[in-house]
Amino acid sequence: MAGTMQAVLMATAGDPAVLQGVERPVPSPGPGEVLVRVAAAGVNFMDMGVRRGQFWTEIPMPRVPGVEGAGRVVAVGPDVQDFAPGQRVAWAYVPGSYADHVVAPAAALVPVPDGIDDEAAASVMMQGLTASHFATEFYPVQPGDVALVHAAAGGVGLLLTQIIKLRGGRVIGRVSSAGKADIARAAGADHVIVDADGQFAAEAVRLSGGEGVNVVYDGSGPATFQGSLDALKVAGTLCWYGPILGGPGPLDIMSLPRSIKIGYAVFADHVRTPERLRSHAAQLFQWMLDGQLRPTIGRRYRLADAARAHADMESRATTGKLLLVPGLAG
C-alpha cells in the first residue's frame, strides 16, 4: 500500500531516549494478515523489557516496539475471511504497535463491539486479559475470598480489583503512595494499604480477619515476595507475575509454610488459541458494556512522546493505563 506512516523506532537497546519517531512506508498485508490504522496503542511493562534488550532478542534492530492496541481495518490480505475493511478491531499481542499503522495476523485480532470506544478497547486487551487469567483461571476467585492485590492503582491492579469484586471477592489493595489510595478505592478495593517498603503483611493479615488472605496477586518483584508469603492463610495461593523485575531466586519447596501454593501466571496461557482470545476478550467487552468493568486511562501521549511515556511508567508515579494516541494534538 502506498503512502507513509508514523512509527516509534529503536535502533539499539537502552534508556527511553532510544525511542525515536520516524516516518516509514505503510506496509501491505500478506496472506492471513490485516492492515490496521491504529487509533490507540497500549504502553506496557513488557515494552520496557523490549526497549532494554531483555526481550525480542531474536528480532533484528531497528525495531518498532509495542504489542497492544485498537483501530480500524484498512486492508486485508489473501485468505482473510473474518475481517473486512472498515471493521473495528483490537489486539493484545502484535509486535510493532507503536505506529499509526500495523500489519497484524488475523488470528491475533478481536472484533470491538459498538458502545466501546477505541481507547477503552486498547486499555483492556493485555492488562484486562491478564487480570481475567489471574482471577478466573489461575486462581478462580469465589464469593467471600479475600485477595491482596499489589500495585492496586496500576493498569492491571485496577482491572483485577474490579474482576475480583464482580466475582464476589474482597480486595485489600496495596499502593506505594497515599495519592494512589483513592484511585484503588474507586475501583472497588475494600481496604487499601499504603506501603513503599514491603511492610504490608501484618496489616493484610489483620484486615483479612486474622487468618491471612486466600490469594495474593504480586507483580511487584522480589522485594515483596516474603511479605506476600507471610500474608497468606493456610493453603493460600500466591499468584506471581511480571518478568521485568525478576524472580525471588531459588526456593526450597519444603520450607514453604502453611501448605501454601505458588505459581507463575502468564497471560498468554489464557489466550493460547484464537478462539480463547476472542472468547475472553468478548467477556471483557461485555463486562464493560454492563458497567461492571471500567478501564482507567491514566495518561495519553503522542507517538512522538513514547520516550516520555516510558520514563513516566518507570518512575512508578503513574496510575491506570498509559496510551499512545496517533494524531493526538501536541
In a domain, 61, yes or no: yes
User: How many domains would you assign to the chain?
Assistant: 2
For 244, the domain range is 127-268
Q: Do 84 and 157 fall within a single domain?
A: no
| Model confidence pLDDT, tens digit, residues 160-197 | 999 999 999 999 999 999 999 999 999 999 999 999 88
Query: What's residue 330's pLDDT?
Result: 66
Q: Give the CA distances from residue 270 to residues 52, 277, 281, in Å, rounded to whole numbers and listed in that order.
A: 26, 7, 11
Instruction: Looking at the structure, tell me whether residues 199 and 211 fall in a common domain.
Output: yes
pLDDT 10s digits, 208-264: 999 999 999 999 889 999 999 999 999 999 999 987 777 888 989 999 999 999 999
Give the tens place of pLDDT for each residue, 56-110. Answer: 989 899 999 999 999 999 999 999 999 999 999 999 999 999 999 999 999 999 9
Average confidence score pLDDT of the chain? 95
Based on the fold, state whether residues 97 and 191 are members of the same structural domain. no
Domain boundary at 248, 268, 288, which?
A: 268
225 and 108 within one domain: no
Whether the pLDDT of residue 328 is over 90: the answer is no
pLDDT in tens, 126-156: 999 999 999 999 999 999 999 999 999 999 9
Whole-model pTM?
Answer: 0.93
pLDDT value for 1: 59
Cis peptide before 62 (omega within 30 of 0): yes
What is the average per-residue pLDDT within 39-47? 95
218 in Cβ contact with 224 (< 8 Å): yes
pLDDT for residue 281:
98
- Give the per-residue pLDDT at 213: 98
Residue 159's CATH number = 3.40.50.720
312 pLDDT higher than 70? yes
* Same-domain check for residues 174 and 192: yes
State whether 178 and 256 are in the same domain: yes
